[in-house]
Amino acid sequence: MTLRVNVRETLSMILHVDAQRKLVREQLKAAGIADSGVEADLLLAGVLGISRGEVQMRSLLGRELSEMEAREVGAATARRARREPLQHVLGVAPFLDMELAVGPGVFVPRPETESLVTAAVALLGQDPSSSVGQLTGIDVGSGSGAVALGVARAHGRIRMTAIERSSAAWPWLRANVEAFGDGHVDVFFGDAERAFSVVPPGSLDLVVSNPPYVPAANRPESREVWRHDPEEALYSGVDGLDFIRELATWSSAALARGGVLIVEHEDSQGAEIRQIFADAGFIDAATRQDLTGRDRLTSAVRSASGEGGCDQPTIM
């Protein structure tokens, strides 16, 4: 006896948005992804090109996917279940008011790094509507361009240069600067030391960086991080501070009097970085917290004499 299956009814049953949400959630949970419910909706939204709220609405209304959409959701789910970063799967990472293009070879910008942008803009301390001349700054190790773009867009009167030496990250940086730079962000391909060598002494108002700061022996717990984020964006010597030491020296020569240096770092490194900055001729070194209340950012100001100043405590 031949069993006849109504193909339309079968496809209708498996193509319901609600059923797909549940299936994706179950597959992500089985892969060990903690926020499987949230990520399932984000994955569906990204594949379908709609908002997360629209995914939930279509689920409640009993809407269906096309066969092509279902296949695309399935392929994306399989990639995420293999612990490929969600941002790589979808091709974008939200950052401030931007949707940055990301993928293999580029460090995925984190929400906490938005605090680095906010603090840098605040430390510049000038009214963006002022008629005073334009400021200049550089973002060292720019990756996707998130920080350079964020500062330029938020401040309004600073021209930023995004410095990146990775040939894998370079196309992502170029694409994002073209999409969101509005003519206020330049790009520089090469080592930071070479970039600083062509900067006239005392010409910068800001040096900002989310540098490599993980100690060499500390592998991050997240599989997404240690499998997919570039090692050169993570590790920097035994204590994680080798690059920041060099950055402080380069910045000391390149920044104008009163210019600002600010970096992101691990929550245990603030005191050491404040001392590094003081030894390099900076004053008013201070560590700030991110939105989660963790010590995450340390800044300092270029002194007039080049002599270091006193260490300052953590501030909010």
Q: Are residues 27 and 56 in the same domain?
A: yes
Residue with tokens 């970039």: 195
C-alpha span between 173 and 216 (Å, rounded): 26
DSSP tag of 132:
S
Nearest alpha carbon to residue 250 among 276, 217, 219: 276
**156 compared with 299, residue with greater pLDDT:** 299
Q: Are residues 129 and 76 in the same domain?
A: no
With respect to residue 88, please indicate whether it lies within any of the assigned structural domains. no
Q: What secondary structure does DSSP assign to 203-264, as a single string?
A: -EEEEEE----B-TT---S-HHHHHHS-GGGTB-SSSS-HHHHHHHHHHHHHEEEEEEEEEE
Q: Are residues 76 and 101 in the same domain?
A: no
Tally of domains within the chain = 2
Q: What's the predicted TM-score (pTM) here? A: 0.83
Q: Are residues 39 and 186 in the same domain?
A: no
With respect to residue 89, please indicate whether it lies within any of the assigned structural domains. no
Residue with tokens 């996917």: 65
Q: Are residues 100 and 60 in the same domain?
A: no
Residue with tokens 């460090």: 107
Instruction: Collect all residues with Cβ–Cβ distance below 8 Å to 153 and sequence separation of at least 6.
Output: 96, 97, 98, 180, 182, 184
Helices 36-48 & 17-30, crossing angle to 10 degrees?
A: 130
pLDDT tens for residues 165-174? Answer: 999 999 999 9
Q: Are residues 75 and 112 in the same domain?
A: no
DSSP tag of 182:
T
Nearest alpha carbon to residue 12 among 69, 64, 74: 64
- What is the CATH classification number for the domain harbouring 171? 3.40.50.150
pLDDT tens for residues 99-157? Answer: 999 998 898 998 889 999 999 999 997 554 444 678 999 999 999 999 999 999 999 89
C-alpha span between 221 and 298 (Å, rounded): 24
Q: Are residues 153 and 224 in the same domain?
A: yes
End-to-end alpha carbon distance in the chain: 75
The tokens for 124 are 């510049």
Q: Domain residues for 222?
A: 96-315
With respect to residue 2, please indicate whether it lies within any of the assigned structural domains. no
pLDDT tens for residues 203-252? Answer: 999 999 999 878 776 665 555 554 556 666 666 678 889 999 999 999 99
Above 70 in pLDDT, residue 8? no
Provide the mean pLDDT of the chain: 86
Which of 82, 110, 140 marks a domain boundary?
82
Q: Are residues 161 and 133 in the same domain?
A: yes
3-state helix, strand, coil in the chain (%, to 5): 45, 20, 35
Return the pLDDT at 217. Answer: 66
With respect to residue 91, please indicate whether it lies within any of the assigned structural domains. no
With respect to residue 1, please indicate whether it lies within any of the assigned structural domains. no
